[in-house]
Amino acid sequence: MAKDKKLVEAITSMEEDFTQWYTDVVKKAELMDYSSVKGCMIFKPNGYAIWENIQKQMDARFKETGVENVYMPMFIPESLLQKEKDHVEGFAPEVAWVTQGGLETLQERLCVRPTSETLFCDLYANIVQSYRDLPKLYNQWCSVVRWEKTTRPFLRSSEFLWQEGHTAHATAEEARERTIQMLNVYADFCEEVLAIPMVKGRKTDKEKFAGAEETYTIEALMHDGKALQSGTSHNFGDGFAKAFGIQYTDKENKLQYVHQTSWGVSTRLIGALIMVHGDDSGLVLPPKVAPTQVMVIPIQQQKEGVLERANELKERLMKDFRTKLDDTEKSPGWKFAEQEMRGIPVRIELGPKDIEANQCVIVRRDTREKLSVSLDEVEAKLAETLERMQADMLSRAKKFLADHISDAVTYEQFRDAVANKPGFIRAMWCGNRECEEKIKEDTTATSRCMPFEQEQISDTCVCCGKPAQKLVYWGKAY
């Protein structure tokens, strides 16, 4: 058994060193590998399969709201990028430029898209003429490039995968409704599929997207008490429309500017899955998003009939569950450790004694709970187990979130909370950027969002003591 534990011993305990634990898990679970391209990562099959499941299920939710998929070029001419001043200034430090094509120096630099607002604006300026053309509800699944100085797998890399939705509307009200609608789509998806509860709210002006009137965010809390911005939705108003000349003729035959939104989530969600649910044995994946939901592991497979029956069971279960069979010649202990490392929600153990008794053993990844069930009832019991596991994972994550939210009324309480109480800190704010910047300078905590459900936990700003305007969630973040 000692050698079977080596797989898990290769993982640093999260309490000992959370950063190293994270790195160990993504490597040992074979989610990714490092690339010879600095700042870029390779998605291995285990990691990319998670993204495929996220993409498939989220895309279906987008389409239920009327969104259609398109694909835009990966290059943006510099002149196009320069049309919206705030936008280009916000992204300038991260832009990668193409200056040569083949052997020729380009007459105009091309940026490798850091995001595609300008390309969509250019398209909408050409295809929107009348109120009958609206709304335009487009989304694309693609990669973007942002030249990051510090990278970490899934959380921050120079190239990453994401989706970016870009919509155009006739009125400001429609645009704001779509902005909030898509944020709620994200939050519901994360809770229902990823089993991750989110704090929802609006970003401060300091933290909002470059060129946006309003930015809304979903914020998750990781096991180490740090926040992870997990998705954003932006209301652009008519600022981009005026910069790009996107106008339509309304029902009174008058020219109007469109109002736009943009919204996106990325492969950061995989990082969130790892850090919210993982343990010292590796990944723990919620059943709804796990690429493999069930691993059938034969016990004493060298004995006559065991592999055959295990394979028959796998074939049965594949009709209803994402199922695999581990028929390698490794020991059962090693197979168990590997299944746990990869976060596969359930394993089914089947040996000679089980076959004789017409039963198998179902083992949950999250709790290690074992359940002996009749082979005649395995589909029903498996469905119950996976459903219960999904619900339990969300319940535990909600409790962790609730247990790691603290209130601060004075600056002394606030600084103490940042230093000694990992998690979100709720505190009132006067609305002045100076206080926001002072808090970051003094504590490294940043404003995460102004929640939709506002409360008045104090009359004064936690930093300066002036009259308070907003309740804000603060915290250290990735």
The per-residue pLDDT for range 344-385, each reduced to its tens digit, is 999 999 999 999 999 999 999 999 999 999 999 999 999 999
- pTM summary value: 0.95
Cα separation, 462 vs 429, in Å, equals 6
pLDDT score at 205: 96
pLDDT band at 119 (very low <50, low <70, confident <90, very high): very high
* CATH code reported for the domain at 294-387: 3.40.50.800
CA proximity to 282, closest of 294, 274, 272: 274
Residue 4 has pLDDT above 90, yes or no: no
Instruction: Pinpoint the residues of the chain covered by CATH 3.30.110.30.
Output: 405-475
Cis status, amide bond into 135, omega within 30 of 0: yes
107 Cβ contact partners less than 8 Å away, ≥ 6 residues apart: none
Cα separation, 210 vs 10, in Å, equals 42
pLDDT digits (tens, 9 = 90+) for 198-210: 999 999 999 999 8
pLDDT band at 150 (very low <50, low <70, confident <90, very high): confident
The C-alpha angle with vertex 440 and arms to 435 and 445, in degrees rounded to 5, equals 120
pLDDT score at 1: 42
CATH homologous superfamily for 405-475?
A: C-terminal domain of ProRS (3.30.110.30)
* Secondary element (H or E) of residue 4: none
* CATH code reported for the domain at 12-277: 3.30.930.10
Residue 462 has pLDDT above 60, yes or no: yes
Instruction: Pinpoint the residues of the chain covered by CATH 3.30.930.10.
Output: 12-277
CB 58 within 8 A of CB 189: yes
pLDDT digits (tens, 9 = 90+) for 308-320: 999 999 999 999 9
Instruction: Pinpoint the residues of the chain covered by CATH 3.40.50.800.
Output: 294-387
Residue 63 has phi, psi (to 5 degrees) of -65, -30
- Encode burial over 222-257: b for 16+ CB neighbours within 10 A, e otherwise: bbbebbbbbbbbbbbbbbbbebbebbbeeeeeeebb
